[in-house]
Amino acid sequence: MNGDTAVRLSRAAPPRPTSFFEFWPDWAFYTPVVLHWLALAIRHRSLTLPSAANPNITSGGLVGESKSAILDQVAGPARALIAPYVTLRTGPGGDLPAAEAALARAGLAYPVVAKPDIACNGAGVRVIAGRDALGAYLAAFPRGEALILQELVTLPGEAGVFYVREPGVAVGRITSVTLKHVPFVVGDGRSTLRDLVLADARAGSLAWMYLPHLAGRAAEVPAPGARVPLVFVGNHCKGSIFENGIRFATPALADAVERLARAMPEFHFGRIDLRFATLADLAGAQGLRVIEINGAGSEATHVWDPTTRLADAWQAQFQHYGAAFRIGAANRARGFRPVGPAELIRLWRLHRRLMRSYPAHD
C-alpha cells in the first residue's frame, strides 16, 4: 500500500488522513451543539420544536421514525427516483418464504440490501446475496420488528444532499453535499488484510474500527491488485470517508431535489441519500437513485471531511439546527404541534433498544 490513501477522492487527497476532531467522543464534539440547542429551545419556548419541522414524519424525523414510511410519502413522477423496496415484519416462523414472496411481488431479485426500518448510522445494514443469507439475517433480526429489503443500487457514487425550505418560501435550497467514499485496501499478493490496513495512512489510524469488522478475514492475503472494501455502509461512524461536495450543488441538482422534496407532504428539512454513476451525473442530476430520506435528526455530514476546521463544523451544526427550530416555529404557527418531551424520550428509548438488537452491519 505504501501508505497511500485507500480511497479515490474527487479532489486531491487531503493533507491528513483524518481531522483531529473527526473521531472525538460524542460528548466532546456535541457539547457546544447541545448548548446551542438549549439556547434555541429557550428562545422558542420548546425543547422539541424541530419535531414539527416535518409534520408528516414521526417526531419530524428526530428519532424513532420509520424509513419506509418516509419513502412511502414520495408520490408522482419523483417516485421513479426511489430505489424499489419492500417492508416486512418478522414473525415467530416462516419469515423466509414470506420475504421472498414480497420480493417477487415487487420485482426484486438477489442481491438486495437488508436494513432495519427504525435505525441510524448504518446499524444492521447488510448486503444479502441469496436465500441462505436472507434466512440467516431474518433469524438474527428481533422478532416482531420491521425491516426493509431494497434493491442493491450498484452505481459507484454516493452522496448525502441536505435540503432546507422554510414554510411559505417558494423554493428550498441545498445547504450541504457530502460525497461518500468506501475505504479499501489493494492486495499485493504477500500482505494480509491486517497488514494492508495497518500500512495505510487512514485505515491504519482507524484499525480499531476496521479490523474487528474484518473478523476472520484479517489473515487473508488478497491477490495482487485486488481491491478489498473495508465497509459497505456509507456512514462516517462505520468508517466511510466523507468529502465536502457543495461545489456539486448545481441548479440541475437543486431542481431535482426540489421536485423530490415537493413530492412529499410538508417536507422541509432533511438529508437525501442517493447514488450516482459519475460526478458529472451528480452535477447534472442524471440517473440518480435515492436510497434513503432522513428528517430533522439527520446531519449535514460534510463536517466530517478531513479538511473541515472545527469552528466551521460547529458553525454548520448551529446553522442547520437553527433552521430546524425556525421551521418548527413557523409550522407551529400554522397549527402543527411538536411532540412532547415525554413522547420524544419514549421514542428515543425504543430507538436505543432496537439498535442494540439488530444484526451486525456489513
Query: Rounded to whole angstroms, how far apart are CA atoms 299 and 51?
Result: 15
pLDDT digits (tens, 9 = 90+) for 327-343: 999 999 999 999 999 99
Position 357 in a domain: no
Q: How many domains does the chain have?
A: 3
pLDDT for res 210 = 87
- 28, amino acid identity: A
pLDDT for 5 equals: 36
Residue 288, pLDDT score: 98
The CATH number linked to 33 is 3.30.470.20
Tell me the three state secondary structure of residue 223. coil
Are residues 260 and 115 part of one domain? Answer: no
28: containing domain: 1-83+154-183+231-323
Do residues 175 and 163 lie in contact, with contact meaning Cβ atoms separated by under 8 Å? yes
pLDDT computed for residue 67 by the predictor: 97
Shared domain check, 137 and 179: no
Q: What is the pTM of this model?
A: 0.91
Q: Is residue 192 part of a domain?
A: yes
Give the Å distances, CA to CA, from 138 to 85, 109, 119, 343: 16, 17, 16, 29
What integer pLDDT is reported at residue 16 of this predicted model?
A: 66
* Segments of the chain with pLDDT less than 50: 1-9, 12
Co-location of 60 and 134 in the same domain: no
